[in-house]
Amino acid sequence: MTSASSEESAAASAPAYVRIAAEVRARIDAGELTPGTPLPAERDLSVELGVSRMTLRRALGVLENEGRVHRDATRGTFISEPRVRLRLGSFSQEIARAGGNPGAELLWAEERPADDTVAAGLGILAGSPVYALRRLRRANGEPLAVETTYYRADLVPGLLDGDLAGSLWDEVRSRFGLALARTSAELEVVVLDADDARRLGTRGAAGGLQLTRRTFLAGGDCLEFAVDVYRADRVSLIIDRAVDAE
């Protein structure tokens, strides 16, 4: 059996919802279905594809988890824009690099003593003063991430008095003359809580990507500890690393 016929046989034996998801996905990739346009009503689409509405909904659920489509409770199902591809680094710089317009809405900011988790993240003693802030990050007006960030107050005194609507890394460099050397990160798949889902405009219990970051200065001190939560249906995170020589 040839490779092509093997693939056709595998496709034919796949569950109906998988085959329907693949067909709709192929139409999106071919440009037949373009971002922002609605799919036909479920009743019409299920007749066109020759499956039950339950099978169609399961297929659309697969595509929604992939970020290919999104559902509106009142208006139907729409083709989604391609996922925003972000490298580990400055959100503002990455969105601008991709040709978008980055934005930040400050939700709160305060100086507080570091609790055990933040102290461990920054490599300082619990109770040391830190600046804490939470921001809703947007690209072209669309909410993509909720960032909760902590900075060592002794390294950037008065940080909260400056511009908190743009790149904090740019603020650190320009105001304090600090050289950022490297960032480490841990990525987890999570379920968005009710508050984050509301802020990000997703349905309840939607999937998210949680990136826990630490940013270090050239001298080795950890300046920033952050927990960023992204919409999994709209963002893909690219984390590059050098391959160790054997």
Mean pLDDT calculated for residue range 148-174: 94
Domain count, the chain: 2
**Res. 145: pLDDT tops 90:** yes
Q: Which residues pair with 132 in a beta bridge?
A: 110, 150
Q: Residue 50: which CATH number?
A: 1.10.10.10
Question: Are 122 and 234 part of one and the same domain?
Answer: yes
Question: Are 99 and 208 part of one and the same domain?
Answer: yes
Residue 14 belongs to some domain of the structure = yes
Give Cβ neighbours of residue 121 (< 8 Å, ≥ 6 apart): 150, 212, 214, 222, 225
Instruction: Specify the 3-state DSSP secondary structure of 173.
Output: helix
Percent of the chain beyond pLDDT 70? 91
Q: Residue 169: which CATH number?
A: 3.40.1410.10
Q: What is the residue range of 158's domain?
A: 84-238
CA dihedral 112, 118, 119, 123 (to 10 degrees): -130
Say which range, 68-72, 104-108, 216-220, has the weakest mean pLDDT.
68-72
**Res. 105: pLDDT tops 70:** yes
Residue 149 belongs to some domain of the structure = yes
Output the pTM of the full model. Answer: 0.74
Question: Is there a contact between 196 and 229 (Cβ–Cβ < 8 Å)?
Answer: yes
3-state secondary structure 43-91: HHHHHHHCCCHHHHHHHHHHHHHCCCEEEECCCEEEECCCCEEEECCCH
Beta-strand (E) ranges in the chain?
69-72, 76-79, 84-87, 102-113, 129-139, 142-152, 180-191, 207-217, 222-231, 235-238
In angstroms, the Cα distances linking 18 to 2, 15, 60, 106, 125 are 23, 5, 10, 42, 52
pLDDT by residue (tens digit) across 215-246? 999 999 999 999 999 998 888 888 765 444 44
Last residue of a domain, which of 60, 79, 98?
Answer: 79
Question: Are 70 and 91 part of one and the same domain?
Answer: no
Question: Are 203 and 89 part of one and the same domain?
Answer: yes
Question: Are 74 and 28 part of one and the same domain?
Answer: yes
Rounded Cα distance between 88 and 241, Å, is: 10
Question: Is there a contact between 115 and 126 (Cβ–Cβ < 8 Å)?
Answer: yes
Last residue of a domain, which of 79, 105, 134?
Answer: 79
Q: Which 8-state DSSP code applies to residue 159?
A: G
Question: Is there a contact between 202 and 192 (Cβ–Cβ < 8 Å)?
Answer: yes
Rounded Cα distance between 125 and 13, Å, is: 59
Instruction: Specify the 3-state DSSP secondary structure of 137.
Output: strand
Q: Look at residue 12 in the predicted model and tell me its pLDDT.
A: 59
Question: Is there a contact between 55 and 49 (Cβ–Cβ < 8 Å)?
Answer: no
Residue 244 belongs to some domain of the structure = no
Structure-token pair, residue 243: 């391959």
Last residue of a domain, which of 79, 94, 126?
Answer: 79
Q: Which of the residue ranges 8-12, 39-43, 85-89, 222-226 has the most confident prediction, judged by mean pLDDT?
A: 222-226
Question: Are 137 and 231 part of one and the same domain?
Answer: yes
Question: Are 66 and 174 part of one and the same domain?
Answer: no
Q: Look at residue 88 in the predicted model and tell me its pLDDT.
A: 78
Residue 246 belongs to some domain of the structure = no
Q: What are phi and psi of 215, to 5 degrees?
A: -115, 130
